[in-house]
A and B are shown apart, each in its own frame.
Chain A
Amino acid sequence: MALYSEKVMDHFKNPRNVGKMEDADGIGEVGNAKCGDIMKVYLKIEDGIITDAKFNTFGCGSAIATSSMATEMIKGKSVEEALTLSNKAVVEALDGLPAHKIHCSVLAEEAVKAAIRDYYDKNGIEYDRELFCDGDCAHCHAHDEEAL
């Protein structure tokens, strides 16, 4: 199906890092079932480095592919580096997404950030709240939602 790039289809058909993590250091869940997308990201963090990442996603093909790609991109990175992951970088790594699916990449970025925030909260680490999603999509202009 030419709707998606080969890379998207590969990450959709063979998603990397699928599953639950029982001993996660941070868990983030974003989206809602009513809108048709939920992503849940689990992180294992040791000495400030993300040593493992897993995800579960309810959603369309691109929602699954962006979750898979985003978790791949942050594994082995420091928490600070992972926080800089943008939806645009995920879209580029997937060789693009159709315009009406760009929001899936935003969800992937936010799921990673939500998991990191959970890690910060659990460990009493101070952080800048501005960096994180407050769930108010209508007033957030933090993402590049133009199709690439």
Chain B
Amino acid sequence: MFVYADNAATTKMSATAQKVFIEAMERAWGNPSSLHSTGQQAKEALEEARARIASLLGADSPREIYFTSGGSESDNQAICSAAFYGAKKGKRHIVSTAFEHHAVLHTLMRLEKEGFEITLLDVHENGIVTAQQVREAIRPDTALVTVMYANNEIGTVQPIREIGAVCREAGVLFHTDAVQAVCHIPVNVKEDNVDMLSLSAHKFHGPKGVGVLYAKRGTLLTNLIEGGAQERGKRAGTENLPAILSMAAVMEEELGGMDSAAAAILPKRDRLIDGLSAIPHSRLNGDRVSRVPGTVNFCFEGIEGESLLLMLDEEGIQASSGSACTSGSLDPSHVLLALGLPHEVAHGSLRLSISEDTTDEQIDHILRVVPEVVAFLRNISPVWEALETGARPHLL
């Protein structure tokens, strides 16, 4: 049996997304910046997509939607913009959390080298930061608060609306990396009090290489890419029209079906949580309730995550140990370390991210195979032997 359980890494493009993408190559291949009718036809399609996405996100105006290459670019541009304009006013402090995606963390680290002061908030054992923590961290020289909407590795959802309200009250810019949230849980830029938001189409059955930076009217942006008047002069480069049109179409479709998809996914996700919790010395990472519908993340004591993944792949189950972006790294997940897990436990992690396409039979398969593979790996593990003989204390 084949089970794709890595939807937090990427999703398969939906039939609609594929159809619109291909049609766009035929129908709207012009350069939207060209003045002739082929170009203007493309321009019209581009602006229609922008208006649709603005409305789907609850934005005031299509002028607040900037098309980018995806989540990482949007994160980079949002943070660098706030830093650049903050510094002009003597504000060189940024508040974020310890378990952001590296698109955020690495950008913050670069700014730190350039003299910014970065406060990374603790996310507690349940993987949730509180608005109160943000309130306490904000200073007169804070240029930006950036907190992810939902964590990419463990799936926990942050109280974005309350954090946004705190930022509004303090007069501090607020950005959220909503890459794992949009089209999975309700997101509304106005109601959520956000000034900037990043999203990426391939996380909701859209194409790769396209995303959005929402920036509320009046939020100043600097350019990462210079060279043209596209995106109101804030992002040069001929627009990736097939991908943008496909993203707009799939977003509309996904949001329309979001509630019914969640209703289909939730019982399956909970079966996964209950079933995997029955494995001795295992742990669900992150709050059980406040999480996106499809993602679960477990640690199994005494084994290492990569060998678990390879064995699962042999059994047709495609999962990850955390973020696909860090699979080349030997270090355990920074997200799990941020939850306070010791290194040796964090090494044994498994992320399963299912979608509305996942069947009950596939869940059965996962629940049959994972305990077998964990038992096999524990059986050959000297760490497990030490745990079982009492030479090493159990941590889970």
Rounded to whole angstroms, the CA-CA distance of A61 and B343 in the bound complex is 18
Q: How large is the interface on A (under 10, 10 to 19, 20 to 34, 35 or more residues)?
A: 20 to 34
Q: Is B231 an interface residue (CB 8 A)?
A: no
Rounded to whole angstroms, the CA-CA distance of A18 and B307 in the bound complex is 15
| Contact status A36-B313, CB under 8 Å | no
Q: Is B32 an interface residue (CB 8 A)?
A: no
Q: Is B51 an interface residue (CB 8 A)?
A: no
Query: Knowing A12-B307, A61-B307 touch, does A56 contact B332 (C-beta < 8 A)?
Result: no
Rounded to whole angstroms, the CA-CA distance of A39 and B44 in the bound complex is 63
| Contact status B383-A58, CB under 8 Å | yes
Q: Is B384 an interface residue (CB 8 A)?
A: yes
| Contact status A33-B385, CB under 8 Å | no
Instruction: Kindly identify which residue among B304, B311, B314 contacts A58, using a CB–CB cutoff of 8 Å.
Output: B304
Q: Is B220 an interface residue (CB 8 A)?
A: no
Rounded to whole angstroms, the CA-CA distance of A64 and B379 in the bound complex is 12
| Contact status A18-B380, CB under 8 Å | yes
* Chain A at the B interface: SS class: mixed
Q: What is the distance, in angstroms, from B314's C-beta to the closest C-beta of chain A? A: 6
Chain B residue contacts of A19, Cβ below 8 A: 380
CB-nearest residue of chain A to B301: A33
| Contact status B381-A56, CB under 8 Å | yes
Chain A residue contacts of B310, Cβ below 8 A: 1, 4, 9, 12, 61
| Contact status B313-A100, CB under 8 Å | no
Chain B residue contacts of A55, Cβ below 8 A: 380
Q: Max chain B CB contacts within 10 Å: which of A15, A38, A58, A63?
A: A58
CB-nearest residue of chain A to B321: A60
Query: Knowing A12-B310, A15-B380, A39-B382 touch, does A60 contact B344 (C-beta < 8 A)?
Result: no
Q: Is A20 an interface residue (CB 8 A)?
A: yes
Interface string of B309-353 (1 = CB under 8 A from A): 011011000000000000010101000000000111001000000
CB-nearest residue of chain B to A57: B380
Chain A residue contacts of B344, Cβ below 8 A: 33-34, 36
Instruction: Kindly identify which residue among A9, A12, A33 contacts B347, using a CB–CB cutoff of 8 Å.
Output: A33
Residues of chain B from 366 to 394 with CB closer than 8 A to chain A in the complex:
379-385
List residues of A whose CB falls within 8 A of some B CB. 1, 4, 9, 12-13, 15, 18-20, 29, 33-40, 55-61, 63-64, 100
Q: Which 5 pairs from chain A and chain B are nearest by CB?
A: A33-B344, A60-B306, A40-B382, A58-B383, A58-B381
Cβ contacts A to B, 17 pairs, < 8 Å: A1-B310, A12-B310, A18-B379, A33-B347, A36-B330, A36-B347, A37-B304, A38-B381, A38-B383, A56-B385, A58-B381, A58-B383, A61-B307, A63-B304, A63-B307, A64-B380, A100-B330
Apart from the given pairs A15-B380, A57-B380, 4 other A-B contacts in the complex at a CB distance below 8 Å? A9-B310, A35-B330, A36-B330, A36-B332
